[in-house]
Structure 1
Amino acid sequence: MAAEFDQLIAEFERFQSGIRNVDDRFAGLDAMQAQLTELRASASSPDGGVTVVTGPGGAVLDVKFTDAALAKGPQALSAALMSTLREAVGEAARQQVVLVRDHLGDELGLVDQVLETQAEAFGTTVEELRSKLTQEEAAPEDFSDQRVLRQADDAPPAPPARGGSAGDTFLRNLFDEED
């Protein structure tokens, strides 16, 4: 009887462990969704005449041409635009799959599937695309336009309200009694 009970407890603990694993994996979905909506990928033609910015799902957000690119004629402009569009959309897809992998894991090999599909579509190698992926992951985040310290003229944050939960009241009273 005790052995059966121990076996049931072990099975229940495995079940709970599985539930915790699923909970942990899906806890970051809101963060992943926010990162996906903020995703931006950019590509420029080799001569810098065409720049394309894409967002989630490869949606084209912006296209820019220099005067030199416009002066090359319709066929050259069209070829540069299509090539740059493919590169920007491809980069967006690579960024998306990396975000999904980072949050949910890659048991299905999604990164490899995307790289293989892009290599075939773009006439390149998986290794070349993987090196771009590694470069994108290794690029440091740019915080140069963000403030680190509060400016002197900024108002300090408002003090917390005196109300709150019973726990807040207990802690406040505990510390007030020690003074």
Structure 2
Amino acid sequence: MGRATSAAVLAVALALAACASDPARLPLGSTRADALQKLGKPTATYPLPGGGERLQYSREPEGYEVNNVDLDAAGRVVAVRSALANPIFDSPIEIGKWREADVLRTFGKPYQVTRVESFDGKIWSWQFMDNYVPRLFYVYFNPEGVVVRYFAGDNPALEMTGK
């Protein structure tokens, strides 16, 4: 088999693997075992109200996706959501109420955690794609760990490299 053929076979195999591990393709009503078989081990799991569970599949910090697969108390898939598909307009964040644990359960571990001189608290950020443009979603926490604001902005790392 030549190099070109080997590369083509590898590309097809990777594409098929990506489709098989795409949470959006997981049918509602699937069992937890089905989800684990098709998607693999989640990057995090979180208990949900009513005895349910969230299986979280994150590609952060290198990637741009965080997918949540929500199971009911019986272990059946009831929702599959891309947490960063439109983090500003679809965000359930409640300013002044949500804490770090709430944000983790929704968006997963951040791409980075930073501090700036002009704000007395932590700033978490996630990479996401906005119409094929890499951006960052920022969540600001006060010193007590409560969300005080959030917004989307340009990725300064890309601006510095000229990409």
Q: Considering the TM-score relative to the shorter chain, is it more than 0.5?
A: no
Structure with greater proportional strand content:
2
Please identify which structure carries the higher helix content: 1
* Larger-Rg structure: 1
Q: TM-score, normalised to structure 2's length? A: 0.26
TM-score, with length taken from structure 1 = 0.24
